[in-house]
Amino acid sequence: MHIDGTAAIVTGGASGLGFATAKLLVENGAKVTIFDMNGEQGLANAAAIGARFSMVNVADDVAVAAALDDAAAVHGAARILVNCAGIAPASRTVGKHHVPHPIDLYRRTIEVNLIGTFTVLSLFAERCAALDDYDGERGVIVNTASVAAYDGQIGQAAYAASKGGIVSMTLPIARDLASYKIRAMAIAPGIFLTPMVAAFSQTVQDALGSQVPHPSRLGQPAEYARLAQHIIENAMLNGEVIRLDGAIRMGPR
């Protein structure tokens, strides 16, 4: 898929991995619309890179459909989707004083990370399926999983389940959409310098980075963005999850 001149949607694009991806796509000529719930930061960062911004709850199918239509009215129908929107709460299955994991927190994590990802990609793919071929395909989807899908740590039951769902649905989605010439891929990042990690002390950041075999540091959002770009441009990448983690395998904690 050629990026230059192509309309793209990046969810969770107000910060972190999503913002780095939106920025790189714009730099390569894409017409980008960012979907995010952080209105103030989203508007400012979108303006800074020359992208559009829509405040969207990715788990709200009505809002997503309307935002996709609004973006298409300005940029034309999107053929590129990168799903980075997500939350990462921590809670043990049974915590201190025998308190169970809050079921609302578990439900919310699945709703945003897994159902939200599927909501956006399914409505995006519906619109792509009606488009003409462009360079032999109609669209490409890049979802964001996590190494937690494979190496979930203490307190990550909900998060790991949500990301494991993204891993598991990658191949069937690619198979579902193959007849429409729409590809579906996922990236499973390791420990990256996202806003959440950046809020930690430098000592904590260094400790986290030292767990990575090589390179022994935190991943940079731009490295995620470059992999997303390669997936978009390489037509043979389909139905697979790529770990982007410096060979880390997470321990229990």
State phi, psi for 6 to the nearest 5 degrees. Answer: -95, 140
Q: Is the peptide bond before 215 cis (omega within 30 degrees of 0)?
A: yes
Locate 11 and state its tokens. 């969810």
Active site residue 224: no
Q: 241 phi and psi, to 5 degrees?
A: -110, 125
Per annotation, catalytic residue among 106, 159, 180, 224 = 159
CA 100 – CA 134 distance, rounded (Å): 51
Rounded distance between C-alpha atoms, residue 218 and residue 128, angstroms: 35
Task: Give CA–CA dist 8/72, Å, rounded.
Answer: 10
Phi, psi of 52 (to 5 degrees): -95, 160
The residues carrying an active-site annotation are: 159
